[in-house]
Structure 1
Amino acid sequence: MNRIGWAAQAWDPSGGDEPQADYAFIRSVLDAQQGPALDIGCGTGRLLLRYLHDGFDVDGIDTSASMIEICRKQAERLGLSPNLYVQSMQQLDLPRRYNVIYIPCGSFCLVTDLNEAWETLVRVNAHLEEDGVLVFNLFWPFSDGEPLSSNPLGRQGEWGDLWAHRQLDGSLVAQHLMRLRIDRVEQLLFAKRRYQRLVDGEIVQEEVFDANERWYYKHEMLLMLEKTGFRDVQVKGNWTNEDFAEHHGSIVYVARK
């Protein structure tokens, strides 16, 4: 998602940089693989900066120049100097090869064009060293709050609350999602995402973005990975070592080149 301007600045306080379950899972892969890693969709550095601080060699890409700039400034304040690139995963073209490439936050789902999704996997494979590992997660559309569940977030065409956080200056930063349309045949969700800053209950800043996503089923993605050069694929649930099951909200793939 290409957040720009104020929305990029709001990503951290809106909860985007809070520790999450993916940190420990991906960290275990980094420990096992060693060598350079690439964070695809690094945003303002939620994972990348932590891993750099832990001593790992991690580069990052994101489509948002604003978020990359914030990440760079935060890295400088920490005495870090990562290689950061404004680039989409569909057009991945970097000078290095990596032992680990990870795509957190379900960001692969944002590649809604199926041909571009295939191209992304081809390019990721080409950027991995032999025996390198790809780690990424996809949302499960039947889990609670998701569009195909019995309890989706909000009504279609209405804003549903994602989260809200009080800031040090007393303002409130909130994020909302509106589902516009679901194409069950093409496996596409059309939606909008909204960021708001409120002071004394009044909206003082607001930005709205497209938040369209494609979902994938387990064996569909396994076939895509196989056809793009991956092997020994593990399918886990919710960034744990549990095999993926229907009650999980997130499908995690660990695939080796």
Structure 2
Amino acid sequence: MTISELAAWHDVECGRYEADLPLWKELAKESQHGVLDIGAGTGRVALRLAYAGVDVTALDLEPELLDVLTERAHEAGVTVPTVAADARSFTFERQFDLILVPMQTLQLLPTRFGFFDSVRRALHPGGRLAVAIVTQLETYDGQPPLPAPDIGHFGEYTYISQPVSVQVGPHSATIDRLRQRVAPDGERETTEDRIELAVVSPGTLAEEAAQHGLEADELRHIEETPEHVASEVVLFRG
């Protein structure tokens, strides 16, 4: 299977994370009206749920990532409907009783009003929204020892993603990475990548969600791993 550069980097940097999967599977067991996976990417969560027989729909901003998800679902003999849309402005003709937002996807959004508004419309009465956020990021200036790089192989190329800096401010955190694509002959192409995460707390999200009729009713913790920081999952009831 040939995938795009965007999908390759997404798989390398996000695809191997598994610490949150038991929680999503636990929550999905109670679903009777389907699950919506927001920020689904190439299917890290959605495909696992589909393999378990869950009715799951995948939403992501990037059609390239969803194309990979669709092909992988086809190869596995499962069906995962996909929707390319902005998490801040989406609509569905159906409603879901569980909406998942894994891996700090919510913190990538510059504003969240439209997100909560869209979720409220898509959520079945009494349904749940589960949002994963990171609250314990610490500033890291790139001094040795560096964190272990993320490495993946696609076709004849090796992809290496190395975190080099984390700067945490009062309202946002900036994470810098160096990406290297290594060709079969050893030639390396190096690029820089930067993401910004909004700094939020469960309390802040509870206040924002309440404006849209969503009530925070539970907080779950996902332990850190050697590669990933711990996260909190805020659960809301519609």
Q: Is the 8 A contact 1:9 1:70 kept in 2?
A: no
2:232 is matched with 251
Corresponding residue for 1:245?
Answer: none
Counting aligned pairs with the same residue, the percent is 16
Structure 1 alignment gaps of length 5 or more: 241-247
Q: Please report the TM-score for the alignment, with normalisation by the length of structure 2.
A: 0.84
Partner of 1:234: 218
Cα RMSD, aligned residues only: 2.9
Look up the match of 1:173.
159
User: After the TM superposition, which of the residue ranges 97-106 and 16-25 deviates more from structure 2?
Assistant: 16-25
What one-letter code is carried by the residue in structure 1 that aligns with 2:113?
Answer: W
Provide the residue aligned with 2:104 in structure 1. Answer: 106
Q: Distance in 1 between matches of 2:213 and 2:73?
A: 34
Within 1, Cα distance between the matches of 2:127 and 2:223? Answer: 19
Deviations 1:151-208 (CA, angstroms, capped at 9, x unpaired):
x33439x9x6463336387854221345475442xx1123444432235894534454
CA displacement 1:123-166 (0-9 Å, x = unmatched):
111100000000111111xx3xx2xx3xx33439x9x6463336
Matches within 5 A, 1:83-232: 83-112=81-110, 116-140=111-135, 143=136, 146=137, 149=138, 152-155=139-142, 161=147, 163-165=149-151, 167=153, 172-179=158-165, 182-184=168-170, 187-199=171-183, 202=186, 204-232=188-216
**Gaps in structure 2 of 5+ consecutive residues:** none
Query: Which of structure 1's runs of 4+ aligned residues deviate more than 6 A?
Result: none
Aligned to 1:243: none
- Distance between the aligned counterparts of 1:163 and 1:106, measured in 2? 19
CA distance in structure 2 between the partners assigned to 1:256 and 1:62 by the alignment: 23
Shift of 1:9: 2.3
Judge conservation of contact 2:94–2:122 (CA < 8 Å) in 1.
yes
Number of aligned residue pairs = 231
Deviations 1:193-235 (A, max 9, x none): 4432235894534454441110112321221122221125211
Match of 2:68 among 49, 67, 70: 70
* Pairs within 5 Å for 1:33-52: 33-52=31-50
For 1:178 and 1:40, how far apart are their aligned partners in 2? 28
Q: 1:177 to 1:31 in 2, by over 3 A?
A: same
